[in-house]
Amino acid sequence: MKKSQEIVQLADEILNDITSNRIPLHNILLKSSRLSLLLDIPKNVELFKLWAKYAEQNAFVLERYKIDIDATKNSQYNFERVQIRTTANQVSNYLANYRTESYAFALGIYTKYKFGNLAEGIFERKRSKAEPILQNIFPDINQRLNSIEQNISSNNSEDWKNSVFSCRTLLMEIADILNPAKKVEDKNKYINRLKDFVSTKTQSKTQTKLINTYLEEIKKRIKYTLDITQGGSHKDRKKKEEAEDVILYTYLIIADLVQIYTDKQNQSKVDIAKKETI
Where along the chain do its domains lie? Answer: 3-116, 138-277
Q: Is the pLDDT of residue 234 over 50?
A: no
pLDDT tens-digit readout, 152-200: 888 888 888 899 999 999 899 999 988 999 988 888 899 999 999 998 8
Q: Is the pLDDT of residue 96 over 80?
A: yes
pLDDT tens-digit readout, 112-155: 777 655 555 666 666 676 677 777 777 888 788 888 888 888 88
d(CA 37, CA 43): 9
Cβ neighbourhood burial of 272 (10 Å; 0-12, 13-18, 19+): exposed
Selection from 3, 252, 11 nearest residue 110 by Cα: 11
Average pLDDT over residues 250-265: 80
Buried b or exposed e, range 176-185, using 16+ CB within 10 angstroms: eebbebeeee
Average pLDDT over residues 88-111: 86
- Entry pTM: 0.53
Between residues 258 and 80, the one the model is more confident about: 258
Our measurement of the distance from residue 183's CA atom to the centroid of its chain's CA atoms, rounded to an integer in Å, reads: 41
